[in-house]
Chains A and B, each alone.
Chain A
Amino acid sequence: DQQVKQNSPSLSVQEGRISILNCDYTNSMFDYFLWYKKYPAEGPTFLISISSIKDKNEDGRFTVFLNKSAKHLSLHIVPSQPGDSAVYFCAASGSGTSYDKVIFGPGTSLSVIP
């Protein structure tokens, strides 16, 4: 049973507009959430993270929002650029003895159209 879900396999956005990537999770014990970006034939690279004590975290063009009651988080990219075209993965881990078990979602493929 998938604990981290990304229900949109793909997303297309015009350059300069906002990209919103969504992620849902089922395990209420998750406390830490991370977003990764992956280009073909490369390893995933870290984008931004958030802990459950926050509801928002910003880093440049990237903002992550966390709604813990809904078990939902989203990644906003503003403005979107063609170089943002990649697969985006959401990941989650718990705390204490569950901290080290990091579970990823299936990913969303973002295409930014020039």
Chain B
Amino acid sequence: NAGVTQTPKFQVLKTGQSMTLQCAQDMNHNSMYWYRQDPGMGLRLIYYSASEGTTDKGEVPNGYNVSRLNKREFSLRLESAAPSQTSVYFCASRRQGMTGELFFGEGSRLTVL
């Protein structure tokens, strides 16, 4: 049971380059999320998708775009990477239910030079 799978796990970019982080879940969850983790800032919500075909901005959406390709997959794109986007990125999906918990991937460490 894979749960939430993120690729790539590590990436180094130069300023201005673009890239896409891929995320897939096999738990049939409706909701999916992208967070970034920075020291002292915790996990900050970038974008989320409550269901296939919908996406919404989170706390820090600037500089990012997302695509909910289907129920399983939710990708995060950096069109023109900046050093401020150096971070660890986590994808998650949420179990349906009152206090449905989020299940996280292992993270993708991105460095922008």
Contacts and interface: CB of A to CB of B under 8 A. Distances in A.
B2 interface: no
A89 B90 CA distance: 14
Query: Which DSSP category, helix, strand, loop or mixed, fits chain B's interface?
Result: strand
Contacts, number: 64
Contacts of B4: 43
Contacts of B103: 46
Contact of A103 (B40, B50, B59, B104): B59
Interface in A63-114: 89, 91, 99-107
Interface of A: 6, 9, 32-34, 36, 41-46, 49-51, 89, 91, 99-107
Nearest to B43: A104
A43 B58 CA distance: 19
Contacts of A103: 45, 59
B74 interface: no
Contacts of B72: none
B94 A102 contact: yes
Contacts of A41: 107
B16 to A, nearest CB: 28
B99 A49 contact: yes
Q: Kindly list the 3 A-B residue pairs having the minimum CB-CB distance in the complex, ordered from nearest.
A: A43-B104, A106-B42, A49-B99
Given A101-B45, A101-B48, A102-B94, A34 B33 contact: no
A38 B64 CA distance: 25
Interface in B52-96: 56, 58-59, 90, 92, 94
A60 B6 CA distance: 31
